[in-house]
Homo-oligomer: A and B are copies of this chain.
Amino acid sequence: MARPRFHRLPSAQQNAILDAASVEFSAHGFADASLNRIIESAGISKGAMYYYFDGKDDLYADVLRRVLERLLEDSGGLPDPVADTADGFWTAVEDYYVRLVRVLATSPDASALLRDWLTGTSASALREGQREAERAIRPWLEQLVTTGQELGAVRADLPTDLLLAVAMGMGQAMDTWMISRSPATLDIDDAVPALIGMMRAALGPASSPSS
């Protein structure tokens, strides 16, 4: 993580650096991002970068952390308690998801960064930063699934992490799909309920198969 000195910088400069890094990482992914380009566009010296951060990994971890924090903050979070019925649960999730997607829609960089992180090219070096960020968001998601199971809104006959993986896969697929349609053929307000509907059908307790 960024050295303490970094956080003592005027926040304008902190942002200049993290923004530059964010643009670079989201445009090229971790492996192909160039520190040289980052320092150039941030307007700092090479030495300064290493004075503030421990290296490329460290910078990446910080950029990622900021994106996740902003995302959780901007999307406003889920009500607490989430809901007290299965229907309420899915409504709350839909509500939240629509907000999240809206936020992501306004920030292509964040979307790209997030995708890079979620899919993880897994260059060994990268992992540390990933773990760091993963630690922040994983528990939140698991808690959500567990709550859903307790309310009978989520099937309990499959491992939690499989359900999570599937949900994230679906979410990511949809994110990608939405982002790639620049002229949206389906706008957020229609698409999100459709996706959440699919998630609910997939993750909800197995009903009698629709024949």
A residues at B contact (CB < 8 Å): 28-29, 31-32, 86-87, 112, 115-116, 119, 121-123, 157-159, 161-162, 165-166, 168-174, 176-177, 185-186, 191, 194-195, 197-207, 209-211
* Inter-chain contact B87/A211, CB cutoff 8 Å: yes
User: Chain B contacts of A204 at CB under 8 A?
Assistant: 201, 209-210
- Specify the chain B residue showing the minimal Cβ separation from A203: B198
* Inter-chain contact B177/A161, CB cutoff 8 Å: yes
A64 → chain B closest CB, angstroms: 15
A117 → chain B closest CB, angstroms: 11
Do A158 and B121 form a contact, CB below 8 Å, given A169-B172, A174-B166, A211-B87?
no
User: Chain B contacts of A186 at CB under 8 A?
Assistant: 158-159, 162
Q: In terms of DSSP, what is the predominant structure of the interface of chain A?
A: helix
User: Chain B contacts of A165 at CB under 8 A?
Assistant: 173-174, 176-177
A187 → chain B closest CB, angstroms: 13
A130 → chain B closest CB, angstroms: 13
- Specify the chain B residue showing the minimal Cβ separation from A194: B158
A201 → chain B closest CB, angstroms: 4
* Inter-chain contact B169/A32, CB cutoff 8 Å: no
A-B contact pairs, 5 of them (CB 8 A): A119-B121, A170-B202, A199-B202, A202-B202, A204-B210
A190 → chain B closest CB, angstroms: 10
Residue in contact with A32 in the complex, picked from B31, B159, B176, CB distance below 8 Å: B31
* Inter-chain contact A207/B210, CB cutoff 8 Å: yes
* Inter-chain contact A166/B162, CB cutoff 8 Å: no
